[in-house]
Amino acid sequence: MKNLINSQDLTKIELEKLFVLSDKMNKRQKKYDDSLKGFVIATLFYEPSTRTRLSFESAIQKLGAGLISTENAKESGSAKKGETLEDTIKIIQGYADMIILRHFDNDSSDRALKVASVPIINAGAGNGEHPPQGLLDIYTIRQYKKEINNTSIAIIGDLKNGRTVHSLIKLLCLYENITFYGFSVKGLELPKNYIEYIESHNAKYFICKDFSEIPSDVNFIYQTRIQTERLENKNFSIEDIILNKERFSRFSENTYIMHPLPRTNEISTDLDDDKRSIYFKQAHNGIPTKMALIYSIIKDFYKNKKHF
Q: Which residues here bind ligand NCD, judged by CB under 6 A?
A: 51-52, 124, 130, 133, 163-164, 225, 260-261
Nearest approach in angstroms of CB 128 to ligand NCD is 10
- Asked whether the beta carbons of 296 and 21 are under 8 A apart, the reply is yes
Q: Which residues are 42's β-sheet partners?
A: 68, 99
Nearest approach in angstroms of CB 278 to ligand NCD is 14
Cis bond leading into 215, ω under 30°? Answer: no
- Please, which residue, 35 or 285, has the CB nearer to ligand NCD? 285
Nearest approach in angstroms of CB 143 to ligand NCD is 17
Nearest approach in angstroms of CB 163 to ligand NCD is 5
Nearest approach in angstroms of CB 6 to ligand NCD is 15
- Please, which residue, 119 or 126, has the CB nearer to ligand NCD? 126
- Please, which residue, 90 or 230, has the CB nearer to ligand NCD? 230
- Please, which residue, 227 or 244, has the CB nearer to ligand NCD? 227
- Asked whether the beta carbons of 194 and 221 are under 8 A apart, the reply is no
Gyration radius of the chain's alpha carbons? 19
Nearest approach in angstroms of CB 108 to ligand NCD is 13
β-strands 66-70, 204-207 pairing: unpaired
- Please, which residue, 18 or 125, has the CB nearer to ligand NCD? 125
- Asked whether the beta carbons of 68 and 74 are under 8 A apart, the reply is no
